[in-house]
Amino acid sequence: MHTACQALQHQKGRRHYNKLRHLAKDARHDCVVFANEFHQHCYLPREKGESMEKWQTRSIYNAAVWYYNHCSGQMPIVMVTEDEDAIRQYGNETEGVFVISFKNYLDNFWPDLKAAHELFESILQARREREIESQENNGKEYPEHLPLEVLEAGIKSGRYIQGALSVNKHRAQLEAFVRLQGFSSKETEIQSDILIYGAKARNRAIHGDVVAVELLPLHEWKGRTVALCENETEDKAPLDTTGDPMPTGKVVGIIQKNWRDYVVTFPSREESQPQGRNAQKVLVTPWDYRIPKIRISTQQAEALQDYRVVVRIDSWESTSVYPNGHFVRVLGRIGDLEGEIAAILVENSICVAPFSEIQMSEMPVSSSKNPWKVSPEEEKRLDLRATHLIFSIDPKGCEDVDDALSVRTLPNGNLELGVHIADVTHFVAANSYTDVEARARATTYYLADRRYDMLPSVLSADICSLLSGVDRYAVSVLWELEKESYEMLSVCYNKTIIRSAYKLTYETAQGLLDGDTSVVGDILELKDLDDRTRQKKLAELVWAVSKLTDIARHVRAKRDSCGALELEGVEIRVQLDDKHNIHDLIPKQPLEVHETVAECMILANHWVAKKISEHFPHQALLRQHPPPRQEFFTELRECASAKGFAMDTRSNKALAESLDKANDPLDPIVNQLLRSMATHAMSNAMYFSTGSCSEEEFHHYGLALEKYTHFTSPIRRYADIVVHRLLMAATLKEKKGDVKDNLLSNKDLEELCKHINNRNRAAQRAQKQSTELFQCMYFKDKTPETDERCVADGVIYSIRTNGVLVFVPRYGIKAAAYMKNKEGLVISCQGDGSCEWKPGSLQRFQNKITSTTTTGESVTLSLFDHITVKMLVQTSRCHADTIKLEIIKNAPHQSADMEVSQRSFQRVKCELVKAVSQSAEAAQRAQEKTRVEVIDEDFEKYCQTKGASLYQLLEEIRDLALLDVSADIRT
At 265 the pLDDT is 95
- Backbone phi, psi, residue 204, to 5°: 70, 5
Identity of the amino acid at 935: I
705 close to 699: Cβ distance less than 8 angstroms:
yes
At 959 the pLDDT is 36
pLDDT at residue 825 greater than cutoff 70: yes
What's the whole-number average pLDDT of the chain?
84
pLDDT at residue 900 greater than cutoff 90: no
* Integer Cα distance of 613 and 695 in angstroms: 10
641 close to 658: Cβ distance less than 8 angstroms:
no
498 close to 420: Cβ distance less than 8 angstroms:
yes
CB neighbourhood size of 787 (10 A):
13
* Integer Cα distance of 468 and 508 in angstroms: 15
Average pLDDT value for residue range 25-33 = 79
At 487 the pLDDT is 92
At 579 the pLDDT is 67
Q: Choose the weakest-confidence range: 123-127, 782-786, 938-942.
A: 938-942
Q: Which residues contact 692 (CB under 8 A, 6 or more apart)?
A: 746, 750
887 close to 828: Cβ distance less than 8 angstroms:
no
Identity of the amino acid at 240: D
842 close to 800: Cβ distance less than 8 angstroms:
no
Cα-Cα end-to-end distance for the chain: 44
Q: What angle do CA 503, 508, 512 make, to 5 degrees?
A: 110
962 close to 767: Cβ distance less than 8 angstroms:
yes
Q: Which residues contact 258 (CB under 8 A, 6 or more apart)?
A: 206, 207, 208, 209, 210
* Integer Cα distance of 652 and 642 in angstroms: 22
pLDDT at residue 922 greater than cutoff 70: no
3-state class (DSSP) for residue 473: strand
* Integer Cα distance of 608 and 701 in angstroms: 18
* Integer Cα distance of 969 and 568 in angstroms: 9
| pLDDT tens sequence across 693-743 | 999 899 998 898 999 999 999 999 999 999 999 999 999 877 776 666 668
Q: Tell me the CA distances in angstroms from 21 to 148, 164, 166, 344, 446, one per residue in order.
A: 22, 24, 28, 28, 30
Q: Choose the weakest-confidence range: 226-240, 428-442, 530-544, 584-598.
A: 226-240
* Integer Cα distance of 433 and 436 in angstroms: 5
Average pLDDT value for residue range 527-552 = 93
Q: What angle do CA 579, 583, 584 make, to 5 degrees?
A: 150
**Largest distance between two CA atoms of the chain:** 98
Find the helix or strand (DSSP H, E) in which 582 lies. strand 582-587
pLDDT at residue 415 greater than cutoff 50: yes
| pLDDT tens sequence across 446-468 | 998 889 999 999 999 999 999 99
CB neighbourhood size of 308 (10 A):
23
Q: Tell me the CA distances in angstroms from 912 to 556, 592, 909, 926, one per residue in order.
A: 11, 10, 5, 21
Q: Which residues contact 242 (CB under 8 A, 6 or more apart)?
A: 222, 223, 224, 225, 226
* Integer Cα distance of 706 and 490 in angstroms: 19
| pLDDT tens sequence across 148-201 | 899 999 999 999 999 999 999 888 889 999 987 644 333 455 667 899 999 999
Q: Which residues contact 22 (CB under 8 A, 6 or more apart)?
A: none
Identity of the amino acid at 425: T
pLDDT at residue 529 greater than cutoff 50: yes
Query: Predicted confidence band at 136 (pLDDT cuts at 50, 70, 90)?
Result: low
At 952 the pLDDT is 38
Average pLDDT value for residue range 38-67 = 89
Q: Tell me the CA distances in angstroms from 157 to 152, 188, 924, one per residue in order.
A: 9, 10, 55
* Percent of the chain whose predicted confidence (pLDDT) is above 70: 85
